[in-house]
Structure formats: C-alpha cells, structure tokens
Structure 1
Amino acid sequence: MPFWLALLTAAAGGVALDTGFPDKSIWPVTFLGIALVLVSVIGRRAPGAFLIGLVGGFSFWGVHIIWLTLYLGPIPWLALAILQALFFALGASLIAVVYARARRVWPGTRIRLVMLPIVIAGLWTAREAITAVWPEGGFSWGRVVFSQSESPYASLVAWIGFSGVSFVMVWLVAFLIELARVSAVASTTRAVWAATAIVATLAMPAWYAPTEGSSRIAAVQGNTDASLFSQRAAGDVLSDQTAETLKIIDQKVDMVVWPENGSDLDPARSAQASKQLDYLSGKMNAPFIVGTITNPSQNTYYNTSLLWAAGRGSIDHYDKRHPVPFAEYMPARAFFRAIVPDLVDLVTRDYSKGTTDTVFDVNGVIAGISICFDITDDAVARDMVHDGAQVILAQTNNADFGKTDENLQQLAIARLRAVETGRSVVNISTVGTSAIIAPDGSTIASIPPYEAGSMISDVPLATQETPAMLLGSGIELLVSGLGLAGFALSLFAGRSPRRAQRKAPRAS
C-alpha cells in the first residue's frame, strides 16, 4: 500500500489494539489491531517499517497509558509512550524483513503458510518478552494477552502462559493474512483452512483447576486518597482502614487483608499503628496482612507487606520485588534531574528491590504475596507457586490514577494470573477496583471502585501446578527463539542471488 496509507493503517491498528483492553474491553478488536499493524509493514523496507511501527506503537501506547497524565502530567506519559513505541517500531522492522524475504526463504506456498506465521508471531512475542523485563525491570502492561481476560482465550493461559497466548493470537492473525495473500489455493480451501485455524486456537478445553479446601478471607478497601500528592494527614489511611474493618469486627475469618500502603504509619515505628493492629487482630482472632513502607536502615526503604498477629507483632514480611522506576525509585537521578528537576524531585525516596521469599504461612495456609506491579511479573508469579502458594494476595494502591482505565487494566491482569497459576487471587486496593477471583477467572466477590467496603468469602485453595507453571519460561523461550531464528534465516539466507553474487570474492 502507499506509504501514507500504511502510516494511517498502523495508527488505526494502535487504536484498535487498545480498544480490546479495559475499560472498552472489546476483545475481538485486538485481533483487528494486530492485523492492521502487520498489513501496514508488508512490502516495506526496514527503515520505512520502523517509522510505520513508531506511528502504530505510539498510537497504541499513547492511548493505552494516558492515565499517567492524571497526576504526573504529559512528560512521563510521553517519555514512556515514546520508549515503548521505539521497541514496537524495532519489532515492526524485523517483521518487515521477514515478510520481504519470505518467498526466497520458503519458496513453496504450503511451507510458507506454515513457517511465516510462526516466525512473525515469534518476533512479536519476543519483543513483548524483552520489554517485559528490560530496561529497569521492564514494562509488560501492553502485552496483547492482557486484552483477553474475558474472552475464550483466557482459559488458554493455564496451558501455555501469557507469552504462549500472545503467540497464538498473533500466529492466528498472521496465518489468516498469509492465507488471504496466496493465490495458488482455491477459495473454498482457504475458507476451510481459515475456519480450521480459528477453531484450533479455541479447541483446548479449560484447565480443570482442582481445589483443596478453602480459607475464609476478609479484604478491606478503606477508600482513602492515598495518592502521591494527597494532602492527607499522617495516619489517615490507617484510620480509614481501621474504621472499615471495625464494621466486620465480629466476623470469624482466617485472615484479614489490607491493600498496599494500607497503613501509612509503619507499625514497627509507630505505637499508634502497632496498637490499632494489635487490637483488630486480637478482636478478630485472625492475622492481618498489611501494606506499609518500612525503613530498616538509613536511606533504605521498602514497599512492604507485613504479616501481623496480636501480641506478636510482625511475624513475617515481604518486600516488593518489582518497584516501579520513575515512581518508586529514580534511575540515574542526577542525569534526569538536570533535565526535569521538578518531576524528579517528586520521587523523594528510592525503594530497594526486595529479596525475601514470596509467601506467608498464615496459620497453615500458604499465601503468595504480590504488591501492585508485581502481579505483572511472570517470574514473581512462578516463584509464588513454586514456594507453595495456595492463594495469591494481590495488594495494590491505585489512588494515583483516579477513575481511569489503569485499575481495570490491572484487575484484568490479576484475573488472567489467577487462571494461569490455578490459584484464587484476592485483589485488594485502597480505592478499587477490588475483587476476589476464583482459579477459573470468575469473580467470587467485589467492591465497587471509590467506595469503602469489605469482601468476606470462603476462598478456594489449590496446590496443583498448571501446565503453564510447570513449563515456566520454556514456552516464551521457544516461540521467541523460533521468531529470532526465522529472522536470522531471512537476513542471511534470504539475500537475492544477484546481491550475494556481487559480494562474492573474485577468483584470483
């Protein structure tokens, strides 16, 4: 297509990609978005595809993370959107190279129908996998699988994990595109193959998530403005959490879960916080899992979850594994301060990365602990399950993002994580959206956003690992490796004979 049309197509593809995510949640449109992006780079050279991918990537990321502007303004949003768009553009360039040389690398129609979609999907998945962990721990928010929390493809994550489902989604689109491009196959045959491919991706039955008993869990949402720029007084978050917990003080539960930053006073340093938690835990005869900020030594801070029991204090703790760069710590502070000092100074302290294990033993129930962005980290999820987690307690504080798509996007990730791990997830926020999610992804209980409330449910426990957990990162490495190997083959074996002849050494 003409270059100007390719740019418009990629831009439309980025918007379509976002439409599949919450809160619009029109999940089939994600497939349309993938198709528009792929079609826009077919027939392009790598530099042109890079520019097209940059437009498509910024179109997607600019819309997808617009919630960053609510409190932080346009600069952090623009910087992150551009960074992710650059990665997107690089992936588009690699895909364009494979498309351009596919007929020489795989000259037969049938072999090309098999190999080309695998390589294209592998490259897309490799780009998602790399940006999920790098730089500075990565940002995995926009993986296409995260648009499928309420689609038939959600159950597939229990079998092949997040990267596996991203691969399947892109493979299906790439296969249908290539099927439409070939002329040597009859129309009827193409229709049959297309229908077969669609059915095949949906044919895997849902993983039967066996459960073994339950634990009665209370989760409390205090609905406090716990945002970065809140004018609240010290102790306000603790007071609101306490007030809401007092409403269920007579309930018999096995544990009570508060959100990330549920106590804005560190109970280890605050007599007020320690006294209130002791009182609540004693009256309910149940341990509390409480988010707070700890400062174990000078200039060392952790975003921490405490396991608190009356009369015993903190009997275990988890320090967040994945603090968020430019929010919870500032990489290269001196460098960025020279550019945007006002924004850098908003990050007043640098949280350290946690090194604790990922579970609490709560009176015999092994609970995996995830703090906010941890829920997006595949390695943390695997560690929780391998450490014996029977349930996952996902504590978060979404107050910085107001009534935007961010909290719904995070809940969608938590829902998929429940299916992937085969574990119930208690997703509890300071302001919402909070929900208890069963291992099959269904909602057991929920609290509306920006309303104080609590959830009390008999939450199913599980110990059996799903295939996705048993395979670990194997699927991701396999499909990414296939994509990169196919690109290398296209790069070296796909050169035209005339060009290769020009570069051949002359005979003496």
Structure 2
Amino acid sequence: MRAAVPIAAAAGILLDLASAPLGWWPLAFVSVTFALATLVGRRLGGALLVGTVFGVVFFFTHLVWVGEFLGPAPWIALAGLEAVLFGVGAIPITLAYRWTARFGPGAAGQLVGGPLLVAGLWVTREIAMGAWPYSGFPWARLGMTQVDGPLPQIASWIGVTGLSFLVVAVCAALLQWFRSGGIRFLRGLLPAAVGVLILVTVPQFPTTDAGTFTVGWVQGNGPAGYFDDRSPSDMLVAQTRATEPLLGRPMDLLVWPEGSVDSDPLTTPDTAAALDRLAREAGAPLLLNAAVSRGGNVFNTSLLWTGERADLQWHDKVNPVPFGEYVPDRWFYRLLAPDLVGLIQREYTPGTNSPSVTVADVTVGLAICFDVIYDTVIWDGARAGAQLYVFQTNNADFRGTDENVQQLAFARMRAIETGRAVVNVSTVGTSQVIAPDGTTVDTIGVDTAAGGITTLPLRSGLSPAAVIGPWVTAALPFAAVVGLAMLGLLHRVRMRGAHVRVHPDRPHRP
C-alpha cells in the first residue's frame, strides 16, 4: 500500500498530461498500466483507496476550470464526486484480478480472459459515470486521450467507448505478461501484440463523398459570460458586427454560436426584424442560438432562421448542464448552498427533437455545447442523415482555462467517429473547422472577434460506430458484469470445496 498510493497518484497526473491541452497520448498507456498494477492483490478497502487517490489527482487537475464559473465549491463537488465514483469502480477490477488468479499465471484465462474482463469493467465505470447522476458527465474518457495520436481511427468502427476498451485491454495484457514472467515468457506478449496491431492498422471507415457545402462561421467575442457586464442586445450587436465582413460573399449557411442572440427572437419583434435583414443580406439561412420560451418552458434552442416563420426549424439542447443551466432538486441544494443556488436562475428544459436541420437538400447534424460529449446526440444526428456537423458553444464562463481545448478534442473525435466535417463555433473561442479525418482546417483563437467562410466536404453513409455504438455501449458492461458474476460464483464454489476438504467432518451451510 505504501507503494500503491503514490503510484496511483502518479497515474492520475499522467492521464491528465495525456489529455488536452498537452495531449501526450502515449502517457495514457503508462497511466492505465500503473493504475491497474495498484489494484492487483488489493483488498476491497485498499482498492477503493488507491482508485480514489487516482481519481482525486486526475479529476481535480483535469477539471480545475469548473471553478472559474462559481468559485471552488462546484469544482470540489464535481471533481470529488467523480473521484469517489472512480474509486468505487476500482473494486470490481480488483475482484477480477483476484478471481482470475485461479487460472494460473500463464493460462489463457489470465492472459486473454483477464485483460478483456478488466477492460470491460473499466469502460463499464466510464459508461456509468457518463450517465449518472443527473445525466452524468462523460467528459474525461480514456479514448479521448488518443485524438492527437495515430490510433483514433478505430473510433469510426467501435466508437470512443470501444477505443477506451482496446487501450485498457492492451495495458492489462502487458501487465499480465509481465506478471507471468516478462521477457522469459515471450508467448505471453501475443494478446497485447494483437491489440496493438488492431489499434495501429485499422484505418478510418471510408464514408462516401456527397459534394461540398460552404459555411460562414462567426465568433463575435461578445459579453457572453454569465456575469459579464452587458446591456440588452449586446450579443446580437457583437455577432452582427463580426458577420458584416462576410456579407456579400457566397455561402450556403451562416453559423453563430450558442448564446449568440440574447433575446427570444420568437417573441421579440425587433430581434426578429434584425435577423430577417441579416439573413437577406447574407443570402443564406442563419443558424443562431437563443433561450426560447415555448409552452411555458424555456429551452436552449438553435434556430435555422430564413426570414420565413413557416419554414422555421429548431433543435433544443438535449442535456442542459446541471447546476449551470438548471438546478436539479433545487429545494435540497438550496439547503446546502443557498447563495450559490440562488445565483443560478436558469431552468432549461431538456429537448426531445432531432439534433439536425435541413438546408436545401443538405442535412446538418447539431450539438449544443456540452451535448458534444454525449454519444447518443451525435449518433442520432448521423442516423437522421447528417452530412456534416455544426457544434455551437459558449466558453465565455471559462475564459483563460483548458475547457475550450478539451471540448475541441471531442469535436475532432466526433469528426473521426462519424467521418463528417465539423464546424465548432464558440462565442469567445476557440472556434475551429475540422475535416472528416479530424485535422483542423481553420481556427479563430480565443478573445477574438472574427469570421470565416469555408467550403467543406459532405459525406454520406453511416460509420459502423453510429450503427453499432449503442450495442457496444450496452454489450460491454453486460458482458463484464456477467463475466465477473460467473467468476465470483466459481470462486465461491471453489472456496466451499476447499473448506469441505480441509474440514470433512465439520457441517457446512449449503
């Protein structure tokens, strides 16, 4: 334990270094191997401890930007919760090592079955943390560390979860080979070598060329932060000014970021008139975002504005951010932190409509801000026929932090995963245009008011990740939990048999 705790802490630091903004992707393999080594032979309490130590170091470092919005309390709460959940998720991995020990160090059950089970349990923890509580927070996923390396193409076949699984499986296989004799047992390297071969050689799934599409995209750098000093329509004015240099140039779609319009254009005639004029001058529909009231509810909504109300299309954010865009169980958290809860007046309702709009005959997939981290939003857009994606975001509450580049890593991975070009446009930066292979085509840096017009390739055809992704997400946890349960049952039967052999005359409970 004296060695395991500092090694777990070091593994947490290494995983943060492997993630954006540094993106030293090989360190993810070192981190996971160290983390798994600390769980071998551990008691349940010890597994909880070393897993939580890893989680504390990683999440408190990786998510330090959360405190930029409302101070240290939300940062401590989120990072602390994630660390505890990570620690709890270490216990099944320790049990897997304990119960596979019966197969012997060189047996297939240890060299192949053990690493696959451990990888399944790791991604089960990722999936659980990405879904609970309050829709979860699938931000810090192992597969995302590979976006800057040579390995992310496999995500187009099996998704980010599948990529996480393969990374852990390779690390667990290497660790098991070392435990089985290391260099004296070269045959034991075969499972790890197979995993590396899959990661290195599988190319990105080839989606089909479907023409081109020209997008104007504008980062207005207006006062979009929750506590920024501003007057009514300041965001609309800032976006309009940054758009003016693009007017008169040909484009198929003009894109503004999340929060680009600071009044409801459906109920504010002056705002609607200004948007009508802009769409006419641009000669293209305007994809904007605003807080919109409908049916007594408030939604974070992206609107395709053409000037014709009968043709209005919209998409509502699917996963409003808890404690940012709404407060779940407000009565309870008001008792714990009344001042903080009182500051958050937003109460956005989750959207249920398709994450896509149609411009002429081109379907554009959408994700609003943190919705980019939720697989189902992206897959739903692909299955709706998206030929490219537009991600609208507002990073103003996290100026000067790593939040925007971590989010951009997700945007790049989504391009690879779906084989589609992506326009990721922010209020204050960083905004990027991303090719279908994940490379960056154009960038506007932080705190800059600017715009650009980019002609992007359209793609058709669903990548395997968009088709089987939901099945992978369900099958891996199911197989891991069933496999661990069967091992536990075999272990119990074996221990009962040993008890009978040692004490043949002593009665035992059936």
Q: TM-score band (shorter)?
A: over 0.9
* Equivalent residue number for residue 289 of structure 1: 287
| Correspondence for 1:492 | 489
Distance 2:509 2:480 in 1: 37
Compute the displacement of 1:160 (Å).
0.8
Equivalent residue number for residue 43 of structure 1: 41
CA contact (8 A) 2:246 2:453 kept: no
Per-residue Cα deviation, 1:333-356 (whole angstroms, up to 9, x for no partner): 011001101111121021100111
> What is the rounded CA distance, in whole Å, between the counterparts of 2:425 and 2:310 in structure 1?
22
Greater RCO, 1 or 2 (C-alpha within 8 Å, sep 6+): 1
Partner of 1:332: 329
Superposition deviation, residue 376 in structure 1: 0.8
- 1:456 alignment partner AA: I
1:7 paired residue number: 5
Matched AA of 2:55: G
1:228 maps to which residue? Answer: 226
- Aligned match of 1:120: 118
Q: Distance in 2 between matches of 1:222 and 1:314?
A: 26
1:63 to 1:216, Cα distance in 2 relative to 1, 3 A? same
Please state whether the residue corresponding to 1:239 is helix, strand or coil: helix
Structure 1 distance, partners of 2:150, 2:228, is 40
Q: Which residue of 1 aligns with 2:203?
A: 205
Deviations 1:436-484 (A, max 9, x none): 1111111222211211111211111112001111213112222222322
Aligned with 2:394 (options 392, 397, 401): 397
Distance change in 2, residues 1:263/1:46 (3 Å): same
Which among 159, 165, 168 is matched to residue 167 of structure 1? 165
Mean alpha-carbon deviation: is it higher for 375-384 or for 477-486? 477-486
TM-score, normalised relative to structure 1: 0.95
- Aligned partner of 1:419 among 416, 430, 443: 416
**Counterpart selection for 2:128 from 127, 130, 133:** 130
- Bigger CA drift: 105-114 or 220-229? 105-114
450 and 500 in structure 1: CA distance in 2 versus 1, 3 angstrom threshold: farther
Over 3 Å counting, the alpha-carbon distance change for 1:361 and 1:507 in structure 2 is closer
What's the secondary structure of 2:460's corresponding residue?
coil
Structure 2 counterpart of 1:473, from 466, 470, 475? 470
Query: Which stretch shows the higher mean deviation, 379-388 or 195-204?
Result: 195-204
Query: Cα 1:314–1:223, aligned 2, differ >3 Å: closer, same or farther?
Result: farther
Q: Deviations over 1:292-350 (max 9, x none)?
A: 0012244x210000110135487111111111111111011011001101111121021
Relative to structure 1, the CA distance from residue 492 to residue 311 in structure 2 (aligned partners, 3 Å threshold; closer, same or farther) is closer
Unpaired segments of 5 or more residues in structure 1? none
Match of 2:360 among 352, 358, 363: 363
Q: How many residues align?
A: 505
**5 Å matches for 1:51-70?**
51-70=49-68
1:248-327, aligned counterparts within 5 Å? 248-298=246-296, 300-312=297-309, 315-327=312-324
CA distance in 2, matches of 1:73, 1:242: 32
Alpha-carbon contact 1:209-1:440 (below 8 Å) kept: no
Do the aligned residues in 1 keep the contact of 2:103 with 2:109 (CA within 8 Å)?
A: no
8 A Cα contact 2:222 2:238, kept in partner: yes
Instruction: Provide closer, same or farther for how the CA distance between residues 52 and 120 of structure 1 changes in structure 2, counting only shifts above 3 A.
Output: same
**1:262-321 CA deviation, whole Å, 9 max, x = no partner?**
1111111223321221111101211000010012244x2100001101354871111111
Partner of 1:74: 72
Q: Look up the match of 2:25.
A: 27
Is the Cα contact below 8 Å between 1:260 and 1:291 reproduced in 2?
A: yes
Secondary structure class of the residue paired with 1:211: strand
Match of 2:503 in 1: none
Contact kept? 1:278, 1:313, Cα under 8 Å:
no
Question: In the alignment, residue 373 of structure 1 is paired with which amino acid?
Answer: F
1:485 CA displacement? 2.2
SS at match of 1:121: helix
Give, in angstroms, the shift of residue 505 of structure 1: 6.0
Q: Summarize the Cα distance change of 1:120–1:249 in structure 2 as closer, same or farther, 3 Å threshold.
A: same
The answer to whether the Cα contact below 8 Å between 1:97 and 1:490 also exists between their aligned partners in 2 is no
Q: Cα distance, 1:247 vs. partner? A: 1.2
RMSD over aligned CA atoms reads 2.0
Q: Partner of 1:375 in structure 2?
A: 372
Could you report, residue by residue, the CA deviation over 1:70-96 in whole angstroms, capped at 9, with x for unpaired residues? 121111111111111121111111101
**Among the aligned pairs, what percent are the same residue?**
37
Shift of 1:188: 4.3
SS at match of 2:246: coil
Per the alignment, residue 151 of structure 2 pairs with 153
Q: How far did 1:430 drift?
A: 0.3
- Once residues 498 and 197 of structure 1 are traced to their aligned partners in structure 2, the CA distance between those partners, rounded to angstroms, is 34
